[in-house]
Structure 1
Amino acid sequence: MTTESSDARPLPTLTRRSGDDLRCSIARTLQVLGDRWTILIVREGFRGHTRFSDFRRVLGIPTDILTSRLSSLVEAGVLERRGYREPGARERFDYHLTAAGDALLPVLGALAEWGNEYRPSGHGPSRLYQHAETGEATSIAFVTAAGAVVPLTDIAIVPGPGENDPGVGPTHPLAAHH
């Protein structure tokens, strides 16, 4: 997965609390995906739902909130709005994941893994992430450029070129706990 994209769209105009929010990748992502309904709409996009009525029916989301969240996802480049017309009806729109939306699959997988582990339902996972051809179970991991899986305890979070605090050094968040 790349960190820069030539077809990346600017963020929708959102309230920013500090200059750090502009620099922090997580804060910028949460500006787009940071509420319950938005991430559930993306989840339903991966489940094959594309129409307003499908999102409304499956999620039970109020119409005004769904309209707002779909518009935000289109504006952020996560969904693409496409027109369609059923015979005898007015033109309507459906919503399809873009490349930026498709790139959220590992995010949803990580959220699902975390929820299965730390917030179990008592019924087992609602969805499993498997290799499409073999059916082998998959998991989310940090992987080096050479393909080696890195244990979480060996991950260091280091300042990137966008860091605005020159005094911030690398952190090893899990190494100290284990």
Structure 2
Amino acid sequence: MRRKSFADFDCSIAQTLEVVGEWWTLLIVRDLFGFKGHYRFEELQEDLGISRNILTERLDGLIRNGVVEKRAYQENPPRYEYHLTRKGKDLFPIIMELLNWGDKWASGPDGPPVLLHHTTCGHDARAVETCSHCGEPFTGRTVEGRDAPYVEQKGRRFAS
């Protein structure tokens, strides 16, 4: 059963969920970041244990929304790899925050199942969100929302 559409919601979170809010979608995106080197349909299907029709649906939606692109790697028969676009790669902080939350609140007694190794400094680390202006931690306790200035355009409100 398809969930309610958020297409008419005037909310950035709702618009993001419209693209990546279906079950399996963020796990497909996670795999396409290449941590495990999965870019082919069969690899994704095997790693996730997802049915072929659901994987096809989710990939088609990601392609339609410009998050993923399909690249041929074989001509006869035609076979493809799936790669994140720049738009898809911008989901990295979302994936990292879901990982952080899961590590803190949903991992078992042995701790998180995956460690992130920062190749630049050579240490295991976790991703942290910081303010783009001052560099201080950006958390639910240090952030508040405020209405953005809007202009009317074609009957819909857009941030100016």
Q: Secondary structure at the match of 1:94?
A: strand
Q: How does 1:87-102 map to 2 (within 5 A)?
A: 89-102=76-89
In structure 1, the gaps of 5 or more residues are: 1-13, 165-178
Identify, as 1 or 2, the structure richer in strand. Answer: 2
State percent identity of aligned pairs: 36
5+ residue gaps, structure 2: 153-160
- Per the alignment, residue 74 of structure 2 pairs with 85
Asked whether the equivalents of residues 45 and 52 of structure 2 are also in contact (C-alpha less than 8 Å), the reply is yes
The alpha-carbon deviation at position 61 of structure 1 amounts to 0.5
Higher mean C-alpha displacement, 135-144 vs 105-114: 135-144
Matched residues in 1 for 2:62 and 2:72: separation? Answer: 16
User: C-alpha distance in 1, partners of 2:139/2:12?
Assistant: 22
The CA distance in 2 between the partners of 1:36 and 1:159, in whole Å, is 30
In structure 2, what residue type is equivalent to 1:108? I
Any idea what SS the aligned residue of 1:36 has?
coil
1:141 is aligned to 129
C-alpha deviation, 1:84, in angstroms: 1.8
Residue 97 of structure 1, CA deviation: 0.8
Q: Distance in 1 between matches of 2:91 and 2:6?
A: 25
Normalised to the residue count of structure 2, the TM-score between the two structures is 0.80
Name the SS of the counterpart of 1:152 in structure 2: coil
CA-CA distance at 1:146 after TM superposition: 3.3
Q: How does 1:110-149 map to 2 (within 5 A)?
A: 110-136=97-123, 137-149=125-137
Q: CA RMSD in A?
A: 2.4
TM-score normalised by structure 1 residue count: 0.73
Aligned residues: 147
d(CA) in 1 for partners of 2:27, 2:41? 13
CA distances 1:134-153 after superposition (whole Å, capped 9, x unpaired): 13323322313232334532
